[in-house]
Structure 1
Amino acid sequence: MKRIATALLLTATVFGAHAAEADKAVGRVLDKLDYPYEIDEDGDYKLVFDAGDDRTQLVFVRSSVEEFGTHKVREIWSPGYNSPGKQFPAAVANRLLEDSQDAKLGAWVKQDQLAMFVVKVDAAASAEALSDAIDAAMRTADAMENELTKTDEY
């Protein structure tokens, strides 16, 4: 049986009228999975998981849905590296590309100075499929963060 880490609540403030609208369908699935979450100022679901070995890992389930042709896709993001400058060091960028090749679900993307592991699933994914995607993002990002930095920032 797959071990999904227990979600821990991360303290954050939702900015009332300025907050984007969260997709309530995501909340219902996360509630069904019994994953505690907060909704951030972008309307995304923010979770922190116990990754084991006294480590935690931040995961976002995006409320927005991307479309391509007939596909409707939801993204699950998890940060794994924060670059000291605008560009990633070449060795880090190459390591992230290598890890993307090996990943069963998802790939690394550059979001400003952050390396984010992103898993894309069908917007109407089942609770089990969403749980698998969250687990893949959490485990992959935490392992890379540990490998590259030996810290637990996320």
Structure 2
Amino acid sequence: MPRYGRCLLTALTLSLLPALAPAAPATEPARTAAPPAAADPRIREQLDKLGYKYEVDEDGDYALTFGLEGDRSQMAYVLSRTERYGKLQVREVWSPAYRTSAKQFPADVANRLLEDSQLSKMGGWVKQDSVAVFVVKLDAAASGEDLDDAIDYVVRAADEMEAELSPGQDEF
């Protein structure tokens, strides 16, 4: 069983990645769905060994939802797709925390995210369309224990920031 202490895995309640994307304008032509991407079997094996429940989305990414203290929950994703730089192969583990209806984050929110990124032991904040996402990038061949630490870190960092920036709300 996972070592989370405060973080208890709960059932996944939604299809997660599409919910983060902004709605398409009504005038945009309908698109055909892309074929499902292949999920990285290394991640499946690690998550199974850790005892996590997950869902694989249409991009082949692993989506998890965690129950937290105070009746809060938090989503996390382990991306199957990796990126390379030289000999490095890197995987992203991330969790959303803030959404705006505006094109840009308010200055105070953007500055708070930058400040938090500077203080972070690992990872930092990125803007993905209208959503602030906490991202940890780790070696694609990282151990299950390292992956577990990365998931724990993104979940805690994102939920704390969500509670700070959107008091009384728990969207993610």
Q: TM-score range by the shorter chain?
A: over 0.9
Partner of 1:61: 78
Asked whether the equivalents of residues 106 and 117 of structure 1 are also in contact (C-alpha less than 8 Å), the reply is yes
Query: Which amino acid in structure 1 is aligned with residue 171 of structure 2?
Result: E
The alignment partner of 2:81 has SS state of coil
The 1-side partners of 2:139 and 2:41 are apart by: 16
Asked whether the equivalents of residues 4 and 135 of structure 1 are also in contact (C-alpha less than 8 Å), the reply is no
| TM-score normalized with structure 1 length | 0.93
The 2-side partners of 1:131 and 1:122 are apart by: 13
| Aligned-residue offset at 1:49 | 0.6
Partner of 1:3: 5
The alignment partner of 1:64 has SS state of strand
The alignment partner of 1:9 has SS state of coil
Partner of 1:134: 151
Matched, 1:79 2:96: yes
1:4-153 alignment runs, 5 A limit: 5-12=7-14, 18-150=35-167, 151-153=169-171
Aligned length: 152
Over aligned residue pairs, what C-alpha RMSD do you find?
1.6
Q: Deviations over 1:129-154 (max 9, x none)?
A: 00000000000000000000011000
* Structure 2 stretches lacking a partner, 5+ long: 16-32
Structure 1 moving runs of 4+ over 4 Å: none
Q: Deviations over 1:9-43 (max 9, x none)?
A: 21446xx9821110011010000000100001111
Asked whether the equivalents of residues 65 and 72 of structure 1 are also in contact (C-alpha less than 8 Å), the reply is yes
**Is the radius of gyration larger for structure 1 or structure 2?**
2
Q: Deviations over 1:58-108 (max 9, x none)?
A: 000000011111111110010010012110000000000000011111000
